Amino acid sequence: MKSNILVVDDEPVARQSLTDILKLEGYNVASAPNGQAAVEHVRTHSIDLMIVDLRMPGMDGLEVVQVVNQIAPDTEVILLTAFGSTETAIQALRLRIHDYLLKPASPVQIIATVKKGLARRSGKSRVSNALTNDVVDEATIVFSLKDGTTVDLSRRQIKHKSKVEHLTPAEGRLLRILMENEGKVFSHRELVLLVQGYDTSQREAPEILRPLVSRLRHKLDQFPSLSERVVSVRGTGYLYEGNK
């Protein structure tokens, strides 16, 4: 099934050029000459990815993204601008924009980042479906360890005798993924996608995961049968190690 892409640019030549490049790649491509028209299109059509010019009269690119994040949060966004600035890049990252390209971007650059954006959207969709399915199955997700410790992932709590420790939703998702796949090594990037629901770079993923893993380990260390079970695989990621 072809992906639906929306090109938003007030410059007719740039808009047409982008549209032609993407149509040649086999995508369904629509275009809008300004921010207001883009928002109206997203309200009435399913859009997988948008390429949005930053500087436009009326609603600028960032304002468009803020509205689209509310009405179609699964739509990936690439911001395209001739005016690069650190401040704008930071704003873009806060809005979870997929990428930020400076004009004139080459067709190769555009096609590459569009493919990555669509792959990221597909990944988030799979995670969303998995999390939805989890709600149905959660009642049965209880691990009982030999010393009597129970890990109840539906309630996100660990118990041993009178001691009870509660996990945050992110800690619970991380522990569940690792425990259900004992001995399997997950990369940092895979875990960010599965736990947090968004894709990130291989370089950024360890930094995002490190504080979450540290908090989870601190809680697990209070239970002897769980201590040191979440193992770091140098340069790769993490795994849950069962009986030693």
Angle between helices 169-180 and 188-196 (to 10 degrees): 130
0.85 cut: is pTM over it?
no
How far apart are the C-alpha atoms of 144 and 153, rounded to whole Å?
A: 11
pLDDT digits (tens, 9 = 90+) for 2-15: 899 999 999 999 99
Which residue type occupies 107?
P
| Distance between first and last Cα of the chain | 47
pLDDT of residue 88 exceeding 70: no
DSSP E strand boundaries for 173-234: 186-187, 230-233
User: In the prediction, which pLDDT does 134 show?
Assistant: 42
Collapsing DSSP to helix, strand or coil, 233 comes out as strand
Looking only at the bridges linking them, the beta strands covering 4-8 and 28-32 are parallel
User: In the prediction, which pLDDT does 91 show?
Assistant: 62
Supply angle C-alpha 145, 196, 6, rounded to 5: 150
Q: Which domains does the chain have, with CATH numbers?
A: 4-128 (3.40.50.2300), 168-240 (1.10.10.10)
How far apart are the C-alpha atoms of 215 and 143, rounded to whole Å?
A: 20
User: In the prediction, which pLDDT does 200 show?
Assistant: 73
Q: How confident is the model at residue 242 (pLDDT cuts 50, 70, 90)?
A: confident
pLDDT digits (tens, 9 = 90+) for 120-159: 777 655 444 444 444 333 345 788 888 899 999 888 999 9
Give the chain's mean pLDDT: 83
